[in-house]
Structures are given as C-alpha cells and as structure tokens.
C-alpha cells in the first residue's frame, strides 16, 4: 500500500518505521528539510519532502502534526488528493478535529494511538511503539464504512488493540486517564519546586527514586502536547481536574482530622480499582515500593 505521513516526529516517525517494516511504501512530509532527511536515513519513510504534493498518490494518509496544525494541513493537502484517499489523524483530542475535518474530507476517520514517550521529534521515533497498546478510532455517522474497514485492517497489522467510540466519549475518557495525569504530574513537580530551603530541595533530589520517577513522568513530557490537550479538550479536562480537586480536598480533610482509618479506606479502594485501569502488560508483578 502507498501510505502518507504528515509530521515526522515521535508518532509519525514511529508509524513510518513499522509500516515500512511491513513492506508498505511510506511517503513522508514534514516542516523541516533536516527532519525529512533524518526520516529517510532512519528508514521511517521511503521518500520525504516539505512539499505536501508528494502525497498526491497516497491511498491512506496519517496526519501526525501537533493538534493545532491539523486543520491547516488538511486544507492544503486536499487540493492534491484523489477523492478515494483515506485521511486519518493521531491527535490526542478528537471532537474539535473530527468536527473541523469531516466537512472538508468525507473519507476522514479520527484516530488516537494510546502510546508515547516523553521525547519528541524524529530521533525519538521507535519501532513497535504501538504494538499491544490501545488505538481508538472515532468514526461518525457519515464515515464511509469501506474507509473505516481499510484503516482497521492496516492498524490490526500493527498489532494494536483496536477500540471504537464517539469523539465525545473519547475526549471524556482520555481527560481522566491521559490529560488529567499530565496536569497532576506537572503540579507535583511544581509543588516540589515550592520548597524554600535549598538544602532540603537538594536532599529531596538526591533521595527521589522510583515512586517520584513514575508519578512525575508525564509532567516532564512534551510541553506543546500538554498545552494542546488543555486548549483542545478544555471542558473535559476542567471537569476531571475539578473531580481530582474534590478527591484531594477529601484527603486533606481526613489528614487534618487525623482520620487515619479513613485515609486507609481510601487507599484500599484505590488499590482495588487501579488494576482495572491497566493494560495486561502493565499489571504490577510485585507489590509497589514507596
């Protein structure tokens, strides 16, 4: 198959590596010439250019730019495409993207791979990033069934765990498990930076181990991506942040009241609930260390 990718960064580059490995011809378009050259050198694409007309003959095109660039990219891209070309994006928020792109290109299927790392750009691209991970598609009533099926088949070959839901349900769900954690984790790091005694800060930095590494990971990721999550998913992110603040207030009240069994009860409930949010491959093998 001839596949196009716009935006040769972590996600676009990683998709290219796997699709090339499967024998597809991958054409890449990115903003900078250096990125195009690196993508070819890393074998993430067969050919690459800053000129979007390179994708004129692609059968399926993955839009992998930052969220804020998707609409302008599509407006330019569709001037060059055959009507049967399937467009899909990988953006972390779906409702605004699907609402804007569907009227421009009927054969569009919103998508979101639930995989990533803290790194960005073509050098961060890695093979098998999506294997075994959830990948959500968000078709709407007007999405052509053939376009959806072609895409589903292509994604199955990447060994992803396919899911399907409405753009609205997607945004509400990822606000809880992806966008809220970024803001909580960022707040954790910001709160630690409020310590006023430099000697204590230095000691905390030396003592920080796996617990801090795990809880601070997503707060130390791509700032542009975090900003786009907040900007594009504002209502759902606010709703989940308010839910989080409520839970934090409950914990503060229990600690103030020295309600130690109340605290333990919360922690028993959260320990029981956590595995239901984890992929089978992420289930803890050993009891967590503090």
Give me the half-sphere count of Cα atoms (radius 13 Å) on the Cβ side of residue 265. 8
- Our CB check for ligand NAP shows the closer of 35 and 95 to be 35
Q: How far apart are CA 2 and CA 120, in angstroms?
A: 25
Helix (H, G, I), strand (E, B) or coil at 6: strand
Q: Quick one: which of 204, 167, 171 has its CA closest to 189?
A: 204
Report the residue closest to ligand NAP, judged by CB.
9
Out of 67, 151, 155, 180, name the contact with ligand NAP by CB under 6 A.
67
Among 100, 105, 121, 166, binds ligand NAP (CB under 6 A): 121
Of 7, 28, 110, 219, the residue at the interface with ligand NAP (CB under 6 A) is 7
- Residue 27 contacts ligand NAP per CB under 6 A: no
The single residue among 65, 88, 185, 236 that binds ligand NAP, judged by CB under 6 A, is 65
- Judged by CB under 6 A, the residue of 22, 32, 156, 270 near ligand NAP is 32
- Region binding ligand NAP by CB under 6 A among candidate stretches 26-34, 185-193, 194-202, 273-281: 26-34
- In whole angstroms, what is the distance from residue 44 CA to residue 249 CA? 47
Name the residue among 219, 222, 212, 87 with its Cα closest to residue 154.
87
Q: Six-digit token pair at 202?
A: 């230095």
Piece of 67-75, 135-143, 169-177, 195-203 that binds ligand NAP (CB under 6 A):
67-75
Please give the Cα distance from 45 to 28 (Å, whole number): 6
Q: Does 30 bind ligand NAP (CB under 6 A)?
A: yes
What lies within 8 Å, CB to CB, of 17 at 6+ separation is 42, 43, 44, 125, 126, 127
96 binds ligand NAP (CB under 6 A): no
Single residue of 3, 4, 5, 6 touching ligand NAP by CB under 6 A: 6
Neighbours of 264 (CB within 10 A): 11
Q: Which listed residue (66, 134, 144, 181) binds ligand NAP by CB under 6 A? A: 66
Structure-token pair, residue 55: 């994708």
Interface residues toward ligand NAP, by CB under 6 A: 6-12, 30-32, 35, 64-67, 69, 73, 90-92, 112-113, 116, 120-121, 222, 225, 228
């Amino acid at each position: 198959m001839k596949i196009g990718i716009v935006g040769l960064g972590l996600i676009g580059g990683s998709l290219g590596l796997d699709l090339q490995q499967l024998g597809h011809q991958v054409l890449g378009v990115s903003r900078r010439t250096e990125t195009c050259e690196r993508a070819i050198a890393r074998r993430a694409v067969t050919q690459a250019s800053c000129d979007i007309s390179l994708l004129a003959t692609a059968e399926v095109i993955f839009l992998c730019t930052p969220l804020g660039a998707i609409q302008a990219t599509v407006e330019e891209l569709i001037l060059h495409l055959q009507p049967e070309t399937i467009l899909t994006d990988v953006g972390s928020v779906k409702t605004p993207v699907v609402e804007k792109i569907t009227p421009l290109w009927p054969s569009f299927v919103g998508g979101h791979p639930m995989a990533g790392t803290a790194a960005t750009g073509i050098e961060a691209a890695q093979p098998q990033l999506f294997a075994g991970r959830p990948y959500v598609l968000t078709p709407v009533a007007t999405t052509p069934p053939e376009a959806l099926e072609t895409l589903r088949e292509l994604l199955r070959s990447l060994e992803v765990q396919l899911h399907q839901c409405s753009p609205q349900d997607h945004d509400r769900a990822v606000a809880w498990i992806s966008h809220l954690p970024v803001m909580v984790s960022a707040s954790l790091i910001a709160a630690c930076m409020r310590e006023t005694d430099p000697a204590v800060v230095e000691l905390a930095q030396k003592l920080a181990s796996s617990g801090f590494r795990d809880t601070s990971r997503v707060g130390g990721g791509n700032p542009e991506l975090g900003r786009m999550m907040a900007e594009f998913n504002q209502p759902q992110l606010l709703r989940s942040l308010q839910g989080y603040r409520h839970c934090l207030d409950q914990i503060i009240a229990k600690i103030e009241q020295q309600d130690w069994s109340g605290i333990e009860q919360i922690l028993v409930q959260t320990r029981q609930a956590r595995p239901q949010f984890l992929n089978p491959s992420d289930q803890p093998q050993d009891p967590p260390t503090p």
